[in-house]
Chains A and B, each alone.
Chain A
Amino acid sequence: MKIFQIILEALDSLIANKMRSGLTMLGIVIGVAAVIAMMAIGAGVQNSITGQIEGIGTNLIFVSSGNQQQDVRNPKPLTLADADALADPLAAPSILAVAPSVGTNQEVSAGRESSRISVTGVTPAYANVANETIAEGEFISQEWLQGRSAVAVIGPDTAERLFGYSVGTIGETIRIAGTPYRVVGVLEAKGGSGFGSQDDRVLIPLTTAQSRLIQRNVRDSVDSIQVQAVNSESVAAATEEISQILRTRHHTEVGIDDFTLFSQDSILNIAQSITGILTVFLGGIAGISLLVGGIGIMNIMLVSVTERTREIGLRKAVGARKRDILVQFLTESMLLSLLGGLVGILLAVALAYGIGAIAAASGTPIDPSITLSAVLLATLFSMSVGLLFGIYPANRAANLQPVEALRYE
């Protein structure tokens, strides 16, 4: 028999039991929709987190004091001098820029508005390294750094929060821990959310922070140093150079560093592997519903085989071989699951964008991305569900003995 005829006949018999076929398909529809929607949302979360991490800057290495893996006696804090040493292009040719910083949360107020906001002491290099652009005014300059000036660059959300508007706040005064600072610049909005908004922060000159705001035990100490490598290929070389320089400067014992390096890549990798696991996890749970749908197909096909025992007997009597009967029933179950899968894909699109819209409305934008591969995978998967769960009933039909099948009432 021709494939076309087989499919036509299978469709015909599915249509003959519309209600039953529809309900059986529903199981697959829900299963496929759930799998694709969950994978789309997982991919969306991954994209949004990756985007946020990349928004921090490019090819960055974060240097912090101390060692999280080993006990180190008397770890030396990072200092401005360390940062200057790293910035030496002769000693560290793979390093493009170095941005030391200190930071705490401080009470920041303007007029009657007051709020605890992250305050970071930075150098002029920070703007490039951290990928910050100025929307209005200017960034912290070398003169302000050297003069320990009481000036501040604020994020757009901060401006909104303190002044009620984000434009035209240059020259206004804010108070950080009671001390007045003049606003000299407003940062461009970066968007994004999640861990610590990039748009709600105050930047002041590093020297100002060290002398007036954030007292540390060691003079000139900084909390962290952000290092930007020349390009993505030189991140590894830059990491090595940083280690060498800091080991020499801190006189560390061999094999025991008193600092920790963390590259942006490794953060990206961690984030991607976490969201990847999340996606697989969600998809797996959704996959269970697809499995249940498959069992539904098996159930209905078994009923159908029993109901049509006489038909099978007749078909065999007039010459159907085992294979003919097998193919007939397999086609029906695969058609059921394939049609269910196609409807499921449509439902998944609606579902993914619905959830995306809800997420956007609640302030954590996720852009669900339905990839072609996810759609193909789901189609293939639903067909194989039909095949897998159709085999048993179809085999049962194919192995019926014609004599007994014809006698069946």
Chain B
Amino acid sequence: MSEIVVNARDVTKVYKMGEFDVHALRGVSLDIARSEVVSIMGPSGSGKSTLMNVLGCLDRPTDGEYLLDGEKVENLSDDQLSSIRNRKVGFVFQSFNLLPRQTALTNVVLPLRYAGVNNQEAHERAMAALEKVGLGDRIKHRPNELSGGQQQRVAIARSLVNDPAVILADEPTGALDSKSGQEIMELLLKMNEEQGTTLIFVTHDPRIAAMTQRTIHLKDGLVEEDGL
């Protein structure tokens, strides 16, 4: 097996809800290799969103170990987590999450600005990313001037622009019609083929899971089945 990018050992996550503890993850262990395409499935309440938050460094695990691209994550501060997300993780959300008043280009530039990349280089890289997703002629458009599929392409360009170790896609086709959903899936898979980007899909859509090499089923905060 090639180099491991995602390495989670006995990851647990406990939320306090008033007086009760909610065990969202009860000990998840996962290895995902570079350039792998993985889907994480499970019914609602299975902990797949929590797992995505932990894998994406949006949240710390309560217990267990997590190495992302060789960096320990579990004890980092908020700002250190920001920095790791900035360098190693790209997000594609169901609802795109673009800044509505900014153009496609500035939306894609955003992660580079927080990375401290200088303006000119940031713009060049953002342009390149937008061209890769086929929006080279739409860079000055604002999200409300773009179709859903195009908006998701901008989001993909934004997730790619920092050359991350892993892209986490949370129901990336959930807000799209089936045709543009299909196109988005194809685009993401093409990025994997061309650039070797590691892809993790979080979904409950079996059609998406069918397009990935490996599907991890979660249930009640545990890995029920890992199609390794």
State the A residues within 8 Å of B (CB): 1-2, 5, 12-13, 16, 310-311, 313-324, 401-403, 406
**CB pair A322 B85 closer than 8 Å:** no
**CB pair B53 A403 closer than 8 Å:** yes
| Chain A residues closer than 8 Å to B158, beta-carbon distance | 318
**CB pair A406 B93 closer than 8 Å:** yes
**CB pair A321 B119 closer than 8 Å:** no
Most chain B CB neighbours (cut-off 10 Å) among A313, A318, A320, A323: A318
With A318-B86, A318-B111, A322-B78 given, name 10 new contacts (CB 8 A). Answer: A1-B116, A317-B58, A318-B85, A318-B91, A319-B85, A321-B78, A321-B79, A324-B114, A403-B53, A403-B58
Find the B residue at minimum CB distance from A311: B99
| Chain A residues closer than 8 Å to B140, beta-carbon distance | none
In the complex, what's the smallest C-beta–C-beta distance from A15 to chain B, in angstroms? 9
A402 CA to B58 CA, complexed, in Å = 6
Q: Does chain A have a CB within 8 A of B83?
A: yes
Most chain B CB neighbours (cut-off 10 Å) among A12, A316, A319, A401: A319
| Chain A residues closer than 8 Å to B116, beta-carbon distance | 1
Q: Does chain A have a CB within 8 A of B113?
A: yes
* Count: A-B pairs, CB below 8 Å: 60
Q: Is the interface of A mostly helix, strand, loop or mixed?
A: helix
22 CB-based A-B contacts, threshold 8 Å: A1-B113, A5-B119, A16-B101, A311-B99, A315-B114, A316-B82, A316-B85, A317-B58, A317-B97, A318-B110, A318-B114, A319-B82, A319-B83, A320-B114, A321-B114, A322-B79, A322-B82, A324-B114, A402-B58, A403-B58, A406-B58, A406-B93
In the complex, what's the smallest C-beta–C-beta distance from A112 to chain B, in angstroms? 81
Find the A residue at minimum CB distance from B88: A319
Find the B residue at minimum CB distance from A12: B101
**CB pair A13 B101 closer than 8 Å:** yes
A338 CA to B97 CA, complexed, in Å = 31
A43 CA to B91 CA, complexed, in Å = 61
| Chain B residues closer than 8 Å to A316, beta-carbon distance | 82, 85
Find the A residue at minimum CB distance from B86: A319
In the complex, what's the smallest C-beta–C-beta distance from B9 to chain A, in angstroms? 21
Q: Chain B contact residues (Cβ within 8 angstroms of A): what range? A: 20 to 34
**CB pair A1 B114 closer than 8 Å:** yes
User: Known contacts A311-B99, A406-B97; is A321 also within 8 Å of B83 by CB?
Assistant: yes
**CB pair A321 B82 closer than 8 Å:** yes
**CB pair A315 B101 closer than 8 Å:** no
Q: Does chain A have a CB within 8 A of B59?
A: yes
Find the A residue at minimum CB distance from B170: A406
| Chain B residues closer than 8 Å to A311, beta-carbon distance | 99
User: Known contacts A2-B119, A5-B119; is A315 also within 8 Å of B91 by CB?
Assistant: no
Find the A residue at minimum CB distance from B97: A314
| Chain B residues closer than 8 Å to A12, beta-carbon distance | 101
